[in-house]
Structure 1
């Protein structure tokens, strides 16, 4: 029998060897080893059922030899939902070998040119760990993947539906299917007779990516053991699904298993000035405030003269999801934070965003950056908020300085070039 070009991996079970080959990993922007740390504590920062559940998490760094700075980012290696993984293994008739050691190798009879084992796949391990830690079970299925599934589907109606989804005439149906298909489990449940072999799945399924989170603490604290704080909000999806990493972290917080694997990402320029007298302007709605809590804590622990520190912060409800409100109030009282500009988008006063606050205080804002050489830090959503803040600052420069658009744009570009306008953005 002639093999298709993509039939190139072979999996054997009940082999002797390591339980898992952990050397095969994809670690984007890594600046350290992978550490395993225990969650020491976690507290919810929001209240009410109609706001996102947001947590401050404390990691134990007792066995971590890496030094960090406020503004750094860690990448957490998440795990897929264990119940979801079990249901997938059950559907594929793999439960009996789910915890048996496998070995994966290149099939000797393959006709594929330059075949390699995908970089994220351990050559030795168990299927349960493979589906739990290495495979992205939420990635939208591509048409090539659906075409592969055709070979392993037995029900005639399901075959016809898959063929239609893969065809040029089925583009609209394919797009509609992607809107409803939120997980690999849902895909399998949509085609019950489809039982692809695990070797074929490994060839097609994408890696489970690490999730980045901003550090929200200073390394100068005297906490014992050495600690690191980060912040996350639960992502709620349709069909009662949660975000892979945030859902897993919440389960860890609520359960008895508390270990998390993470690494430090390569630092960017999101750092406090070395001269602590330089004024800083921090702009970060929602969880965008997280790195600034670390900034302010770091300033508090410095034995140095401090320049002005402004914070522009926005949330939905001032009384229910003002993150780190107690800490921010304390920083204000002690002068570590010199000005707080705060707004909400769901309270009775109407929708107000940080961009509106910047515009409202444009005279003093522009004076701070033009005449006092303040450094601007923006942390938030790259798609909307970060761009809107930049546009707002350009408009403020045009208004206050009576500059044409080109001059205002050039000024902001120069600020960015000289590390006086620094962004920490997420997608």
Structure 2
């Protein structure tokens, strides 16, 4: 006679009746593994294998950001996914071990682009690994990439495209085509987020479980934990009073560099050394008038801008980008201008790119004149986007002020002097006691060591000196014990020594322990900061052995690359390493946050 006694107690059966289908499926696998004699610890790991259909996705959301835009998009994506019950591991690339990419199953990456199509500083190591000899197989990886960039540059969103390409070449599977977003990235980013969330939701639909929901709940910020923040930001800039506008290069110098001081009183805006200030600007009225004359439009004619009727003169001065040309503008203008010579330029991508880089918008119109309707011309233009400048002051030193060191962009094209939009606005068109709309962008990738006893080596040229003034002000305010070494370059000692008296005072007060200056035009043979690095490589190597942090600020296309090669050469020579090992040594410094760059 068969035994009809139930193997489980009524209490156990009651507990089972309260479980979800997903929990029952998981328990089934766990119990089966236990019945086969698998240990408890192994069984816990084995059960999900048997119920893989119910296993929640583990999604890693990564961001590579220079000024915070990519981070903000990635944060929004992560929050959306968590709200859908998806397990999300959110990490900035500065905190992410590059080698861990081999263990990921689903990665969503948002990255900015800098310099000549390069990734932001925090993304350098991962892209280097993906392109190197030790690149991992990524056959189990599903991925999607969004690139942020600026279409006025030739390698638009190249960092995003490079990550996307290498993920695929190493065996990964695209969830959707690489996204590319221009300076006004919000709408494109929002659509990309929607598309990604829909795809991930579909993959995760059968696997929402109590554990994934609990994980999302645990990762949510608790009420009352938010730090006090200012109401002012990129979308709502603060009208800061311009206190000081002082030229700090000699009147006869080729470069016009301004020291600018703004009052942040009443804004609750805060910043740390290494952060940047965003500046909204207005275009030069004379430039607006020249463009309107060239296209044959009356200054009082009205155009619709985001639902508001403005005179085209006002719209061009305050709403649209007029000083950064793009291939999209030239192509659009060519379609309206009906000019055979311009059509030839547009038809050749290489010739078009050179033309865009070397020809301001106004001179595209002057060179290939055409009469246009006001609305048609406005449709070709991008909205004005704020310019970002490295902050050159420490809040602990200057209180509720913020200082900038701005090189005014001026150049001649076809016999006329042209100027940069924001730099000429700050230098020429805002009077002292006038207001400028500003906001703070935090730059976590360019920060002083938390331990202020550590030595620092600061390498910059031109206005790349700005954050280093902030660094040394901060260290002086803290009476920091760490040694400070400045390696600075510019054209002439007598004309271009930015903040000379301040550096002399820092040295006198014991906060500038070593300094090396490269004046490129004061002798027949040009001398640059990279030459000083090689010349003083032995001392630099010793500082590194003492735990020094290296900071580089300046031009990405030439200076920063030349400096990096000089650092590798000095490390190889004085550390007695091969070139490959010296490069790996520098990469390790970067990973340890001891080699940081703010390049543009």
Q: TM-score range by the shorter chain?
A: 0.7 to 0.9
Q: Secondary structure at the match of 1:241?
A: strand
Q: Does 1:57 pair with 2:244?
A: no
Matching residue of 1:241? 418
Q: Distance in 2 between matches of 1:274 and 1:48?
A: 40
- Quick one: structure 1 residues 125 and 249, their matched pair in 2 at CA, closer, same or farther if it must change by over 3 Å? farther
Structure 2 contact 407–463 (Cα < 8 Å) conserved: yes
User: Given the alignment, which residue of 463, 473, 486 partners 1:287?
Assistant: 463
Task: Report the CA distance between 1:175 and its aligned residue.
Answer: 7.0
Q: Distance in 2 between matches of 1:312 and 1:386?
A: 13
1:123 counterpart residue number: 307
Matched, 1:336 2:511: yes
Give the counterpart of 2:246 among 43, 61, 81: 43
User: Could you tell me how far apart the structure 2 residues matched to 1:146 and 1:94 are?
Assistant: 15
Instruction: Could you list the structure 1 runs, at least 4 aligned residues long, displaced by more than 6 angstroms after superposition.
Output: 27-32
TM-score (norm 1): 0.78
Provide the rounded CA distance (Å) in 1 between the counterparts of 2:398 and 2:465: 23
Contact 2:487 2:515 in 1 (8 A): yes
Alignment correspondent of 1:271: 447
Q: Is the 8 A contact 1:355 1:388 kept in 2?
A: yes
Q: Note the C-alpha offset of 1:87.
A: 2.9
Match of 2:593 in 1: 419
Unaligned regions of 5+ residues in structure 1, if any? 1-24, 105-120, 154-158
Question: Structure 2 length as normaliser, TM-score?
Answer: 0.57
Q: Which position in structure 2 is the counterpart of 1:386?
A: 560
**1:145-195 alpha-carbon deviations (Å, 9 max, x no partner):** 134313xx6xxxxx4444544456x986x6786577422x33333344x22
The answer to whether residue 211 in structure 2 is matched with residue 211 in structure 1 is no
Task: Kindly indicate which of the two structures has a greater share of residues assigned to helix.
Answer: 2
Matches within 5 A, 1:11-410: 26=184, 33-95=236-298, 97-98=300-301, 102=303, 104=304, 121-126=305-310, 127-138=312-323, 139-140=325-326, 142=328, 144-150=331-337, 159-167=339-347, 178=356, 181-183=359-361, 185-192=362-369, 194-221=370-397, 226-238=400-412, 239-252=416-429, 255=431, 258-302=434-478, 304-348=479-523, 350-369=525-544, 371-410=545-584
State how far apart, in whole Å, the 2-side matches of 1:32 and 1:71 are. 22
Q: Which moved more, 1:203-212 or 1:398-407?
A: 203-212
Q: CA deviation at 1:364?
A: 1.4
Contact 2:393 2:403 in 1 (8 A): yes
For 2:536 and 2:342, the matched residues in 1 are separated by 57
Compute the displacement of 1:141 (Å).
5.1
Q: Distance in 1 between matches of 2:354 and 2:597?
A: 35
Assess, with a 3 A threshold, how the Cα gap between structure 1 residues 80 and 270 changes in structure 2: closer, same or farther: same
Q: Which has the higher contact order (CA 8 A, sep 6+)?
A: 1
Check whether the contact 1:55–1:233 (CA below 8 A) recurs between aligned residues.
Answer: yes
Classify 1:134/1:27 alpha carbon distance in 2 versus 1 (closer, same or farther; 3 Å).
farther
Unpaired runs of at least 5, structure 2: 1-182, 190-232
Counterparts in 2 of 1:382 and 1:87: CA distance versus 1, 3 Å = same
- 207-216 vs 277-286, greater mean Cα deviation: 207-216
Distance 2:343 2:534 in 1: 54
Secondary structure class of the residue paired with 2:497: coil
- Give the whole-Å Cα distance in 1 for the aligned partners of 2:357 and 2:563: 31
Please tell me whether Structure 1 or Structure 2 has the larger radius of gyration of its CA atoms. Answer: 2
Structure 1 position 44, deviation (Å): 1.2
Equivalenced residues, count: 367
Cα distance change on mapping 1:349 and 1:179 into 2, 3 Å: closer
Distance 2:473 2:574 in 1: 33
